[in-house]
Amino acid sequence: MPNLQLEQLLFSLKKGDRTAFRAIFGLYQGRVYHFVHSLTKSDYITEEIVQEVFIRIWTKRETLKVGYSFEAFLFTIARNLTYNHLRNIANQRSLKEEFWKNISDLSKQTEDTILLAEYETLVEDILQNIPTQKRSIFILSRQQGKSNQEIADLLGISPKTVKNHLWATLQIIRRQLGPHLESVYCLLIFPFL
């Protein structure tokens, strides 16, 4: 189409002439469609974006500058809308993946918390059935973090006796907890076993 004819259409479009708008739409709709489709590879998305491009042209009609490259303006709008749409899709996918990962992590944490609580209960039950001194040494060492020397000083026994009692208690716990172990994971939860 000659520039003069396009300029007349744009001048009429600026004034709100719907016939001029339909003429411009007819001239450029196919080219814009092919441009957008080359980026989206989706008929549905392309149709949505092309419609939005021409809605923008209509809403910005009063600011159009006759004499400037209308095609550059038109394809810049098309490109920007397409990139925005593709960016939104990528963000939605990323958010969806992050959401499901968080749900999965939360589920795993919940399972781990339940499993840990069950094992802690089993260990507490085992500790209730061992001699008082062994239980006290185990609690001071593994639950309160005291060294063998500190425990020996507190209880008035030798560090070697503390070590022997700890070893014996750990053997009892391992033996009694063994049938309840579902995985190697328990060994990570209870490193003292």
The domain segmentation of the chain, as residue ranges, is 3-94, 129-189
Evaluate whether the domain defined by 129-189 bears CATH number 1.10.10: yes
In this prediction, residue 184 has a pLDDT band, given cuts at 50, 70 and 90, of very low
Fold of 3-94: Rna Polymerase Sigma Factor; Chain: A (1.10.1740)
80 or 177: which leads in pLDDT: 80
**pLDDT at position 170, please?**
83
**pLDDT at position 27, please?**
93
**pLDDT at position 106, please?**
64
Cβ contacts of residue 70 below 8 Å, gap of 6+?
A: 6, 10, 64
Query: How far is Cα of residue 137 from the mean position of the Cα atoms in its chain?
Result: 45
In this prediction, residue 107 has a pLDDT band, given cuts at 50, 70 and 90, of low
Structure pTM?
A: 0.49
Two domains, one topology: 3-94 and 129-189 = no
Alpha helix ranges (H) inside the chain: 3-14, 18-40, 43-59, 70-128, 132-138, 148-155, 159-177, 185-189
**pLDDT at position 180, please?**
63
Instruction: Give the whole-angstrom CA distance, residue 188 versus residue 193.
Output: 9
